Amino acid sequence: MIDAQTITLGISPCPNDTFIFHAMLHGLVGRHTFDFSLHMEDVETLNLLARNGTLDVTKISYHMYGFLRNEYVALNSGAALGRGCGPLLIAPPGSALPVLKDKVIAIPGHFTTANLLLQLMTGGHEKVREMRFDKIVDAVASGAVAAGLIIHETRFTYQEKGLIPLVDLGQWWENRTGQPIPLGGIIARRNLGESAIRRLDEMIKESILYARKHPESSRKFIKEHAQELSDEVINSHIDLYVNDFSVDLGNEGRRAIETLFKAAEQLHIIPKDDRPLWVI
């Protein structure tokens, strides 16, 4: 028997990723095709690991992928992309967007798509402070920063600290382009070869379809890693970030990513690169 190829795989501990990858990681789909060495980290850590070439396959912010197109190719499955799911800019009551021009805004990482959207919307906001995504709400509530960009589960819980939304950056993007917002996706090292990359793409799709058909099978795995443990928050998170684009980007999803990259290239936020973005 030929040993299965070992793939270093990076995903976040957020419910959408653990929901998507549970079946694949637990041998419920694609059995014996690959062995996986799992790295579970917050998305900005995954961004930096990919920049260093540490991971074969990983969840990535599309912002970071803009710098890695020579080494990696995007998959069609596993993405967080859609409508009404963008990062929120939050602040204490009484705050207003124009006042934030010279104030510090907390961001969940320089290479996150949340920060990319902030830079696109403002034309460049230099006063930012990077911190892990789950620390931002408390930093805003305590007054350590004037405002914060929130993603993942904190999108559903910030009101508990008495904070208000100033801008939905996903909605800003949708109003500007008419397209869904590409937040994060799955990328694979090009040197894995086209055959392996296509099979990995298929396995992720199979894993999502399995999770949708058997939603309770992944619940224990999800709760072991989630920041927020309530079923309501977990279900809301999955419902928001796992959708038909996660199963397959399709032409609409790929077009949205191309639009985001063109906007970022025009402002010289990411380098221009004419390589194909994915294997189709």
For the stretch 119-132, pLDDT in tens is 999 988 989 999 98
Kindly give, in sequence order, each residue whose CB lies less than 8 Å from that of residue 247, ignoring residues fewer than 6 positions away: 77, 205, 208, 209
Shared-domain flag, residues 50 and 127: no
Shared-domain flag, residues 73 and 185: yes
- Structural domain boundaries, residue 35: 5-82+181-266
In a domain, 276, yes or no: no
Total structural domains within the chain: 2
Q: How confident is the model over 146-189, as pLDDT tens digits?
A: 999 998 778 888 989 999 999 999 999 999 999 999 999 999 99
Q: What is the CATH number of the domain that holds 170?
A: 3.40.190.10
Q: Which secondary structure element, helix H or strand E, spans residue 58, and what is its range?
A: strand 57-61
Record the tokens describing residue 142, joined without a space.
Answer: 């305590």
Kindly give, in sequence order, each residue whose CB lies less than 8 Å from that of residue 48, ignoring residues fewer than 6 positions away: 111
Shared-domain flag, residues 72 and 192: yes
pTM of the model: 0.91
CA angle 221, 48, 61 (to 5 degrees): 65
In a domain, 279, yes or no: no
In a domain, 222, yes or no: yes
In a domain, 138, yes or no: yes
User: Where a domain ends, among 151, 177, 203?
Assistant: 177
d(CA 214, CA 12): 21
Residue located via tokens 């619940």: 219
Q: Which residues are catalytic?
A: 152
CA angle 178, 238, 66 (to 5 degrees): 50
Shared-domain flag, residues 76 and 195: yes
In a domain, 98, yes or no: yes
Residue 122 buriedness (CB in 10 A; 0-12 / 13-18 / 19+) = middle
